[in-house]
Amino acid sequence: MLTLHRAALVLPDPADPTAPSHLDGAVLVRDGLVEAVGPYAELAAAQPTARVRDWGDALLTPGLRHPDGHRLLERAYHPDPREELGDAPVPDGLVGEADEARCGASARRGLQRMLGFGVTAVAGPFERGSVRTAVARSGLVALPGAGSPGPVGRPGSVWSLDPLVGLPFAEAVHGRLVVGGRADFAVFAPGADGPRAGGCRAAVLGGRLVFRRR
C-alpha cells in the first residue's frame, strides 16, 4: 500500500543545516520504506491513488533517539495505569527486581510512552532478556552503546522519556529520511520554541502508524 504523509514542513535531515526542506511537503511510503520525499503537490500528482494522511500545520522529521534506554527500561519502573501512580518513570524502581515478567511489562509500557515523544530508536545495552524481547517486539530500533555516563543536558533528564529534555533537536534526531530507507519518523505540532514545545502528534515505525495523539 502507498501512503502519502503530508505536513506543512518536512525536514528529511534536521542534523544537516544544509539539507533541503520542503514546505507543504510529503513522504511517500511503500511497504515500510520511504519511496519519495518532496513537495506534496508533485508526489500527489505522481501517485494519485496513494492514501493521504494530512498532518496539517505540523513538522515531519525523522524520529528521535533516546540515549538513556538502559536506565529507563532496565532500572526505572513504568507503572501500570491500574496502580494509579501516574505515567512518569519511577527512578531505580526495578533495581533488585527478579521478576522478569514484571520487568518486561514495565519495559513495554515505557516503550509505548516513548513513542508519545516521537522516539523511534533507543540505546542499550539491554541485559535483561525480558527487556530485549520488549524492545525487539516494539519495532523501535535498538542502538548499541552504554547510554550516557550521567544526566543528559539538564538535571533529571536521565529519567525523562522525552530526549528533547536533555538534547538539542538536531542531536536527538535519529537518521535521515532517504529513499529506500526504513520509514521511521515523527510528526510534531508547531511550537514557538521548537518541537518539544508543540509536542509529538504521531510516530511511524516501518511505515506503521504506532502512535497518534487524540
Say whether both 53 and 146 belong to one domain: no
Note the pLDDT tens digit of each residue in 17-61. 899 999 999 999 999 999 999 999 999 999 999 999 999 999 999
Domain of residue 179, CATH code: 2.30.40.10
Give the pLDDT of residue 143. 95
Say whether both 39 and 73 belong to one domain: no
Say whether both 82 and 126 belong to one domain: yes
Q: Residues 100-103: contacts with CB within 8 Å, 24+ apart? A: 100/128, 100/129, 100/130, 101/130, 103/74, 103/128, 103/130, 103/131
Number of domains composing the chain: 2
Say whether both 110 and 121 belong to one domain: yes
Does residue 198 form part of some domain? yes
Note the pLDDT tens digit of each residue in 145-159. 654 444 444 445 679
Counted residue by residue, the chain has a size of 214
Say whether both 134 and 70 belong to one domain: yes
Say whether both 90 and 150 belong to one domain: yes
**Phi, psi of 155, deg, nearest 5:** -55, 140
Is pTM beyond 0.85? Reply is yes
Does residue 170 form part of some domain? no
Residues 6+ apart with CB under 8 A from 47: 2, 4, 28
Residue 31 lies in domain: 2-62+175-212
Say whether both 82 and 145 belong to one domain: yes
Which candidate, 151, 138, 153, 169, places its Cα nearest to that of 65?
169
